[in-house]
Amino acid sequence: MATVSPTVPMAFVHNMLAGARRLLSTEELDVLFAETGIASALFDQTAARVTREQFVHLYGAISIKTGDEMLGLWSRPIRAGTLKYLGLSMLDAPSLVVAMYRFTRFWNLLLDDYQLDFVRQNQIVTVTLKPQRPGETPTIFGHELMVKLSHGLASWLVGRNLPVDHVGFGFARPEHFAEYANLFPGPVAFDQPYTFVSFAERHLRQGFHKTRAELLRFVRSAPDDWIFVTFDHDAVSSRVRAYLDPGKCKDSSMQAAAAAMYMSGRTLSRKLAIEGSTFQAIKDQMRRDEAIQRLVKTQESIRAIAAQVGFDNLPAFHRAFLAWTGNTPGAYRRLRGPPA
C-alpha cells in the first residue's frame, strides 16, 4: 500500500469555512457537504476528521460556488484564474528569489486588508503578511493558506520540498496545535506581530524551468499540490513517518525504527520529545489515518480494517478509534454513508 494520506481535523475545516459561511447559506453549504461526502453531524464533533481528498474536494466546490479562489477569506474576492496568472508571472523569473519577489508584488495588487512584503536580511529571505490597519482580526485559515501557497509554489517551481527557516503566525496558538506538526513541521511560532515565512537565501538563488502546460496541471490540482506539501526540515518525526510507511515497513517497533535511523531507542525518544512528539503518538496517528481512509473509501469489514492497521482484536480497535475520533468505527462509517 502507498503512503497513507493524512486526515484533516475538523478544526481546520471550520477555519476553511470562515469566509464561505459569510457568502453562502446554510442550505447551500449542506449541499456542498453532501457532495463531498462529509456528514453535517461531524461538524459538531471536535474530534472528527475528514480525508485529505474530502478537504480538497470541499475547497474546490466552495471556490466554484463562490467564484473566489480564496473562499471569501479576504475582504476582496480572489477571482477565478488568479492562481494561473500568479504562476504565469513567476514562470520566466531568472531565479527563485525574483519569483518570490513577484509573488509578493502580485498579491499586493489584490489585497486591501493586508500587504505582503519581501525582506532580504542576513542571508534570510522573509515573506511577511502585515495588516494594513491596526487591530485587524486575522482570518486564521487565510494566513495559513498564504504561508502554504508561498511555500508550495516555490517548491513546485524547483521540483522539491523547499526547506523553510521559520514560520510565524499573527494569531494565538490554537487548541489543535499538535496538528501543525503535519502541515507545518519545524519551527512554528504564534502570537507574532504578523504572519511570515522565511527561507535561507541560498535555497532561493537557484534557477528553474517550468512550462505553461505544467503550470496548468498544477492549477487544476489546486489546492492539493500546495496545501499538503510539507516543509523539508529533515524532522525526526517525518523520518519516523517515512519508516512506518505501510507499504515498506516490516517491523514497526521503536527499536527497529531507531536502528534504521542509526540511533538508539533512547536517542530517538529524546529527539522526538524535542519536536513535541513520541513514537507511539506518530504510530497511532498513522493507524488512525489509514483506518479513516479505509472506512470512507472501501467496503471492507471493520474486523478486516482493524487487522490491516495492526490490531489483534476488535474491541481494542473500537476503544482506540473511539479515543481518536469520538466515534466507534461503525458509527463513523454510518455518518459518512456509502463510499463514493
Q: What is the pLDDT of residues 89-125, one digit of tens each?
A: 999 999 999 999 999 999 999 999 999 999 999 999 9
Q: For residue 322, give the 3-state DSSP assignment.
A: helix
| Residue 183 · residue 285 · CB < 8 Å | no
Q: Which residue has the higher pLDDT, 337 or 179?
A: 179
In the chain, the domains with their CATH numbers are: 7-66 (no CATH), 82-227 (no CATH), 236-336 (1.10.10.60)
List C-alpha distances in Å: 266 to 38, 241, 254, 278, 280. 41, 18, 10, 11, 14
Q: pLDDT, tens digit, for every residue of 211-266?
A: 999 999 999 888 887 887 665 455 787 788 888 887 677 788 899 999 999 999 99
Spatial separation of the C-alpha atoms in residues 179 and 23, rounded to whole Å: 28
Q: What is the pLDDT of residue 1?
A: 33
Query: At 225, phi and psi to the nearest 5?
Result: -75, -10
How confident is the prediction for the chain on average, in pLDDT? 88
Q: Please tell me the least confidently modeled range out of 59-73, 162-176, 180-194.
A: 180-194
Summarised one tens digit per residue, pLDDT across range 45-95 is 888 888 888 999 999 999 999 999 999 999 999 999 999 999 999 999 999
What is the rounded distance in angstroms from the CA atom of residue 304 to the CA atom of residue 287?
Answer: 13
User: Measured between alpha carbons, how far is 187 from 181 in angstroms, rounded to an integer?
Assistant: 9
Report whether 14 contacts 144 (CB < 8 A). Answer: no
Nearest to 163 by CA among 95, 233, 230: 233
CA-derived radius of gyration, the chain:
21
At 269, list the grid cell.
525518544
What is the distance in angstroms between the CA of the first residue and the CA of the last residue of the chain?
Answer: 20
Cell numbers placing 163: 526547506
Residue with cell 523569473: 93
Concatenated DSSP letters of 176-244? TGGGHHHHS-S-EE-S-SSEEEEEEGGGGS------HHHHHHHHHTTTHHHHTPPP----HHHHHHHHT
